[in-house]
Amino acid sequence: MSSLQALLGDKLQEKVGEKESLATESLVGEGRYVGLYFSAHWCPPCRGFTPKLADFYREFKATEKGKNFEIIFVSSDRDQASFDEYYGEMPWLALPYPDRDRKAKLSKKFKVQGIPTFVILDASTGKLITKDGRLRVSEDPKAESFPWHPKPLSEILQGKLLRRNGESTEEVDVSTLAGRPVGLYFSAHWCPPCRSFTPVLAKTYQKIKDENKDFEIIFASSDRAEESFNDYFKTMPWLALPYEDPRKKTLSQMYGIAGIPTLIIVENLETGKIITKDGRGAVGADPDGKEFPWIPKPLNMLEQQYAGTLNEETSVILFTDGSDKGMEDAKQALQPIADASHAKTAEKGEDPDLFFFYAGEDEIVDSLRDFASLEDRDPLLVILDIPDQKIYVCPEEEVTQEVAKDFVEKYQAGSLEPKALRG
């Protein structure tokens, strides 16, 4: 079975109200591409974008390059009738509407947080090329740069950066950063959490530099006035993009920046490989930079810094009584499973689909137990899926490695019954 078939199932719908279907496998091949169009009739921006996408599709399909491209509608409509009406306006394929479980998995896999979203995949591997298909259609309606592979970070940042030199600034060429880890710091003077975090980050930055470790930060400003940018940049010992530099907008779109402050750590500008998107949390947990560059571990103790992960990802959590023995038993139960899961996704070049934690005594642990209305027993193994508002609770009172492995495998097979989260 191909990766694309595993993602989309055996058959795709071709015509509304008819039983005609197309084998997913027929779309697979070297040099072929698939666009997943997440949309719904009830969504005004979707109804505005769909005719534009249809025009693009028809024109592109008429070209030689377009013959190797197909779009698949992944519906967020609320019923079959709405799906049928909306799909009637579309000239492409669709994921069959009754396959709601697969639709939910696709939305989760590609982290679809709003619609319309247009995702481009390599049909031969099923791997993501870009989640910014909607933007690319608007910017490149003739598909001259299709399939819109993201530019290397080194190319996006090509040009001059700024560095403070006393009361003045000097230009630095981005090529001087070659080969070293880089932090992309999205921030602004008008943002109170940013102004609180910046001095903390500056101390950590200096400690890392004092250890003679290769590292640089680039400030990408969201300031609304150049004077504010200049005043704020004076407090920073690192580099910056010039005020209102167009590269900042490109970076924000590339990383889906939805709030500030955000600190993203990349391996280097040449690979652009993301080490962590939660550099802010990493700095908060390790202000001395001892674990820099903060490569994520397969298994972590649940602390406040992982609140964002809990809200955005599916997490396996083993609650304990907080004792040394309880914590050690939890690590022994989860570590091999977490390592195997981490290695599997890393081998595919994908983000983890499960995040593993053991929980002791911490404020976030108490809050989480209350939020999820969990029974007060230890150990307690759960799989928490806040994005889908579901939780899976293991009934076993003794949680061994075998019990944990079986529980996770049943979840992955879709054979566990979830409970709805109250929140």
Per-residue pLDDT of the chain (423 residues; tens, 9 = 90+): 899 999 999 999 997 665 578 999 999 999 999 999 999 999 999 999 999 999 999 999 999 999 999 999 999 999 999 999 999 999 999 999 999 999 999 998 998 989 999 999 999 999 999 999 999 999 999 999 999 998 899 999 999 999 998 888 999 999 999 999 999 999 999 999 999 999 999 999 999 999 999 999 999 999 999 999 999 999 999 999 999 999 999 999 888 898 999 999 999 999 999 999 999 999 998 999 999 999 989 999 999 888 888 988 999 999 999 999 999 999 999 999 999 999 998 887 778 889 999 999 889 999 999 999 999 899 999 999 998 899 999 999 999 999 999 999 999 998 999 999 865
Helix and strand numbers, DSSP H then E, in the chain: 14, 20
The pLDDT assigned to 19 comes to 58
Burial class (CB within 10 angstroms; exposed 0-12, middle 13-18, buried 19+) of 370:
exposed
Please provide the size of the chain in residues. 423
pTM: 0.82
- The pLDDT value recorded for residue 296 is 87
Residues in contact with 247: Cβ distance below 8 Å, sequence separation at least 6, in sequence order: 156, 157, 159, 220, 241
Which letter does DSSP use for residue 417 in this model? P
- Alpha-carbon distance 399 to 293, whole Å? 33
Same fold: 154-285 with 299-420? yes
Q: Extract the runs of DSSP E, i.e. beta strands, from 40-96.
A: 69-75, 93-94
- Every domain of the chain and the residues it spans: 3-139, 154-285, 299-420
CATH architecture type of domain 154-285: 3-Layer(aba) Sandwich (3.40)
Of 253, 254, 255, 300, residue with least CA distance to 281: 300
Give the other-Cβ count within 10 Å of 270's Cβ. Answer: 14
8 A C-beta contact, residue 118 and residue 134: yes
**Preceding peptide of 141 cis, ω within 30°:** no
Can you give the pLDDT at residue 198?
98
Domain 3-139 has CATH 3.40.30.10: yes
Q: Which numeric CATH code is attached to 299-420?
A: 3.40.30.10
The first and second tokens of residue 299, run together, are: 């298994």
Per-residue pLDDT at 351: 81
Pick the closest to residue 391 from 364, 419, 353, 423 (CA basis): 419
Q: The tokens of 91 are what? A: 């000239």
Q: Report which residue type is found at 93.
A: L
Long-range contacts: 69-72, Cβ < 8 Å, 24+? Answer: 69/32, 69/33, 69/34, 69/35, 69/146, 69/147, 70/27, 70/32, 70/33, 70/34, 70/35, 70/123, 71/34, 71/35, 71/36, 71/37, 72/8, 72/12, 72/34, 72/35, 72/36, 72/37
